[in-house]
Amino acid sequence: MTRIEHLTESGLLARITPGLTQGADVELGPGDDAAVVRLASPRLVITTDTLTEGHDFLLDGTTPAWIGHKAAVQNLADVAAMGARPQAVVVSVSAPRETGAALLEGISAGLAERCARDSVSVVGGDLGAADALSITVTAVGALAVDQEPITRSGARPGQVLAVGSDLLGRSAAGLALVLAGAGNDPDEDWARGLVAWHDAPDPDLSLGWTQCPGRARAMIDVSDGLARDGGRLAVASGVEIDLDREVLGRDVERLATSAQRIGERTGERIDPWEWVLGSGEEHALLATFDPGDVPSGFRTIGIVRAAQAGARGSEEGTALRMDGQPIADLGFDHFG
């Protein structure tokens, strides 16, 4: 195995950069001190996020290409959640010296492939040595000159809440399988699909810039779970959101058998409601729309109501409800 300590930085870059295809908007790509990209408009949308080994992924429960895919999706989703179209990303990778070069090549290939599907260029980045593997991606997108960004604060009573996914909870189910030791090679089709969605979530992010401008009133991506992110949207807007138990119950029913099977593997009792409400790293778009104006690709899962007198606060769990009752504190918190 060729380890990165056997290669110079230039030698490793020579293996990685040829696979980073560039769009027509890139004047100068990887290889110089910085890239030069012709922007679609003067209004930038910028975001950054990091994946760290042991916190955000386990090497024995994923593949290099999936790591790169997830690193791309979590950043492209943030741009899409503003209603903007992503244009380019830069990537910083830090890794122990004994890391195999093939691992970094695989991460680069997975990231480039996922970006290319949305015509996003990978225009450069940085390589460095570290005690643990981490991948930081910074994504830039563009808003049209006359386009308002879609923020978390635009939800109003009477609107409906909709999600750009036909099933919530898959990522949490996949994580349960990874932690149960069924990461790289689960032996059943149902398990493979769940692990794949956790390690390489694949929602339709193009909904954010093709369907939502001028229609979505507030938007966020489901990175930390429906309960937490839906609550964040409600708090930012000063409203309450009441989830539709019947609609989400269909997701629970679809995941019930998987919960039972995973529970048999782990000896734990698993409630699939916790997956549907608390699954992070789904990265589906969650938005509010006027009634009757929910675009294709979204399904309605709740309704926006006025905040109850004295109930408005900063806690997500008090602003998101189901059947009128506050949702339990579910979802992911880096420091929770």
The dihedral through the CA atoms of 180, 184, 187, 188 has a sign that is positive
Euclidean distance between CA atoms 284 and 290, whole angstroms: 19
**β-strand pairing of 285-289 with 325-326:** unpaired
On whether 131 is known to bind a ligand per the annotation, the reply is: no
* 139 contacts 47 by C-beta, under 8 angstroms: yes
* 89 contacts 75 by C-beta, under 8 angstroms: yes
CB atoms within 10 A of CB 319: 26
On whether 289 is known to bind a ligand per the annotation, the reply is: no
Q: Where are the beta strands (DSSP E) in the chain?
A: 26-28, 36-37, 43-52, 85-95, 121-129, 134-143, 160-163, 218-221, 239-243, 285-289, 299-306, 320-322, 325-326
Question: How far, CA to CA in Å, does 325 sit from each of 8, 162, 299, 318?
Answer: 58, 19, 22, 9
Reported as type and span, the H/E element at residue 55 is none
Closest by Cα among 127, 86, 115, 112 to 20: 112
On whether 224 is known to bind a ligand per the annotation, the reply is: yes
Give Cα 105 distance to the centre of its chain: 22
On whether 60 is known to bind a ligand per the annotation, the reply is: no
On whether 331 is known to bind a ligand per the annotation, the reply is: no
On whether 329 is known to bind a ligand per the annotation, the reply is: no
On whether 126 is known to bind a ligand per the annotation, the reply is: yes
On whether 335 is known to bind a ligand per the annotation, the reply is: no
Euclidean distance between CA atoms 290 and 304, whole angstroms: 10
On whether 56 is known to bind a ligand per the annotation, the reply is: yes
On whether 202 is known to bind a ligand per the annotation, the reply is: no
* 69 contacts 107 by C-beta, under 8 angstroms: no
Euclidean distance between CA atoms 214 and 207, whole angstroms: 12
On whether 152 is known to bind a ligand per the annotation, the reply is: yes
On whether 221 is known to bind a ligand per the annotation, the reply is: yes
Adjacent-strand bridge partners of 57: 53
Residues belonging to the binding site for Mg(2+) are 33, 47-49, 78, 126, 221, 224
Residues belonging to the binding site for ATP are 125-126, 152, 223
Residues belonging to the binding site are 33, 47-49, 56, 78, 125-126, 152, 221, 223-224, 281, 332
Residues belonging to the binding site for substrate are 56, 281, 332
